[in-house]
Chain A
Amino acid sequence: MLSFILRRLLIAIPTIILISIFVFSLQKFLPGDPVLAMAGEERDPETIAFLREKYNLNDPIPVQYLSWVGNALTGDLGISLRTNQPVLELIGQKLPVTIQLATMSMIFALLIGIPAGILSAIRKGTITDYVANIVALSGLSIPNFWLGIMLILLVSVKWQLLPASGYVPFDQDPLRSIQVMIMPAFVLGTALAATLMRHTRSAMLTVLTSDYVRTARAKGLTERRVILHHAFRNALTPIVTLSALLFGELIAGAVLTEQIFTVPGFGKLVVDAVFNRDYAVVQGIVLVTAVGFIVMNLLADIAYVLLNPRLRS
């Protein structure tokens, strides 16, 4: 097991190096001068020249890249050109927000997606199955930024039930924190619930036609027991694996949702940073996201091995 993890980590290294080179070179070619954006309305040439020097923007790009990598290895991801805050600190501030959002979406998606998937599988071919499938596909097809706008319009503006935006740290006021995040979590979780439902359904279908379920039925166990104890437990492996993978994607999927609901998380940070040409922030975020993505993949693999006794050896 350990060697398996180590091997996977080693393979991840070139991937991370490649993605960092890619992002680094991409933004060096972004039109719009970051220094000009920082110099403000007045754009004083002397200030511009100084800032260029200060942020080493006159060095050749490979030199800039290497110095960035050097610093990154010591845990220094640079400072935001816009606010002077260290990038690592910014990420530290934003990550908990997005993780909370992703967790709430995930819970929502699991609560809806899995029961719906099971139901749909055991009632295969009935109207329930058909409706569940259409609803799930609709969930996948709805543009979530539009769903967000419509919810704000109805729930916040028209009915004034929930706040339209904002963020309250969970440890400060848990109830309020959850209340503020219900809408964004719902929007972000919709597609996820649909995905989970479809996978649960297909995993359940595979299991339900397998021999041991047939055996269980033949033994005269109640249908409820057959489904929950035998079928679902076996269908769980791919679902858990998938959930781990999707959690990584959720963090990325938060980009537009956070934009709509003004949630001060990761996604909003990166979009604003791209628009403000805040290079250090974009680089830092992509690096952290890529690492996170790879870690989630690894966890998914480990979960897969652990849940599959046949693969444990």
Chain B
Amino acid sequence: MTAIRLSLAAALLGATALGAGAQELRIGLNEDPDILDPDQSRTFVGRIVYTALCDKLVDITPELELIPQLATEWSWNDDATQLTMQLREGVTFHDGTPFDAEAVAANIDRSQNLEESRRKSELTSITNVEVLGDHEIRFDLDTPDATLLAQLADRAGMMISPTAAEEAGADFGLEPICSGPFSFVERVAQDRIVLEAFPEYWNAEEIMLAGVTYLPIPDTTVRLANLQSGDLDMIERLAATDLAAAEGDSSITVERATSLGYDGMTFNVGNGDRADNPFGADGKLLRQALSAAIDRAAISQVVFNGVTTPGNQQYSPESPFYAADYPVPGRDVERARELLAEAGYEDGVDLEVQVPNDPVNQQVMQVIQSMAGEAGIRISLQSKEFATMLADQTAGDYTASLVGWSGRVDPDGNIHQFMTTNGGINDSGYSNEEVDRLLNEARQTNETEERKALYAEARGILNEDLPIVYLWHDTWLWALSDRVQGFVPYPDGMIRLEGVSLAEN
């Protein structure tokens, strides 16, 4: 305890020594991150902290283009089975270990082979890593993998100090050492994560802050109140319902970006015995009826103050991969009734939907319940804690589930593992040979236009079958004190601190 205090005091002293004007930024997070090890981590909120702590091989622009970070350039061989990367020179990890090709090889090896690693499935295509020089490396793939670069732009591409990783093993997350603009100072679970600027950062001139402290504050009203009182400089995931209050405050600015994820209802169409229900294996017509009965725009208006984007596909209508041939449908209760009749349920039908026991999701489901009721679909809600809901969903012990996905940079990450036969998270139990073929092919080509066409074709089948009824895409809302300058919103919901500064009081 005392040791932590001392190091904190030292850190604070060091910070002030950095020079006048450099301030500490305090950011309110929506929840407490899990373990701070990029290879073991699994929460969205953890990635926000990594953005300041750990550099990746590749980064993205707000428009989702891939740009260099620790890799300065890269190229593919002709059949797209070898990816060669040039690495940035003069980079060191926070413990002084130099960053080079050997370090990258060690990182990929750890992501693939550390038993606790959650990154294995993201790097399955890499079969061999060749160190070609101090700062040149080649990844050999078994099949072309269009998703690989996007994976390397996320946790699988985060570089941690091989020395520290070797030493700490699976406990690396207790004191993470990377090469990002800020280094780890201390963490008090559920209270704060403190980082300080790393003086030897390769891009140090872009870093205007002396340090950053993340404070998990789950209650949205409290988070906003702390921003208004000046106890925080910035908060992420401002609640849509608090938007008006935040915008009404002249000392606060709000930034927004449409998320890469989606929210919708997943149906059990082939995951165990419970797929045997009216909306299950042979329930295509009823699923279509439900989709027609829902007013997606009204959900966005009523629950989210119009902040979210109504949707009907795995990416939002703003995405370049959105299949424009299948626009977001309006509400059509007549059509829903017809479909019900066609399926043989003129007198209505019952549907049980499981929903996480948090107020926002429950509000959405109650709105849907009321809409579906008008079309003759009597929905009963089954509230569960999120942990229980997920377990039941995986086990196939459900008929329908209101559940979302945080989204990935590459379009494959939002669809392949959900809709291919035996896909990693195919809780729906959906299986269609044609869809499998299309999605596998889309994964193996780097040609954007070709991929778009393949996804659109798959979408045609999926929008008919509707194993997932997509409903909306969240909008990330950040609220910032007007002292914070230079913040750029990204659709991945991350907070990049390059160029961000904090004016003095």
Contacts and interface: CB of A to CB of B under 8 A. Distances in A.
Contact, chains A and B (beta carbon distance below 8 A): yes
A50 interface: yes
Contact of A172 (B5, B40, B115, B171): B5
B390 A152 contact: no
B173 interface: yes
B390 A164 contact: no
A32 B43 contact: no
B391 A42 contact: no
A80 B40 CA distance: 14
Nearest to A92: B1
A264 B171 contact: no
Chain B interface residue number, banded: 35 or more
Contact of A167 (B174, B191, B228, B417): B191
Contact of A276 (B121, B174, B221, B387): B387
Interface string B183-210: 0000011110000000000000000000
Given A41-B425, A84-B170, A165 B222 contact: yes
Contacts of B122: 42
A260 B118 contact: no
B95 interface: no
| Residue from A34, A36, A160, A260 having most chain B Cβ neighbours under 10 A | A36
Interface stretch (A17-25, A58-66, A198-206, A267-275): A267-275
Contacts of B191: 93, 167, 264
A167 B190 CA distance: 11
B496 interface: no
Nearest to A86: B174
A268 B188 CA distance: 13
Nearest to B190: A264
Contacts of A135: none
Contact of A264 (B116, B188, B225): B188
Given A36-B391, A160-B228, A51 B219 contact: no
A54 B217 contact: no
B35 A83 contact: yes
Contact of B188 (A43, A46, A93, A171): A93
B329 interface: no
B32 interface: yes
Contacts of A80: 189
A90 B187 CA distance: 11
A156 interface: yes
Contacts of A167: 191
A293 B122 CA distance: 48
From A39, A165, A169, name the one whose CB has the most chain B CB atoms within 10 angstroms: A165
Interface in B1-44: 1, 5, 32, 34-37, 40-43
A51 B5 CA distance: 34
A105 B21 CA distance: 40
Given A33-B391, A164-B225, A262 B118 contact: no
Interface of B: 1, 5, 32, 34-37, 40-43, 115-118, 120-122, 170-171, 173-174, 188-191, 215-219, 221-222, 225-226, 228-229, 231, 385-392, 394, 405-406, 417, 424-425
18 contacts: A31-B391, A39-B118, A40-B41, A41-B405, A41-B425, A42-B42, A42-B118, A43-B390, A83-B36, A83-B189, A84-B35, A157-B221, A160-B228, A164-B221, A164-B225, A169-B5, A264-B189, A275-B387
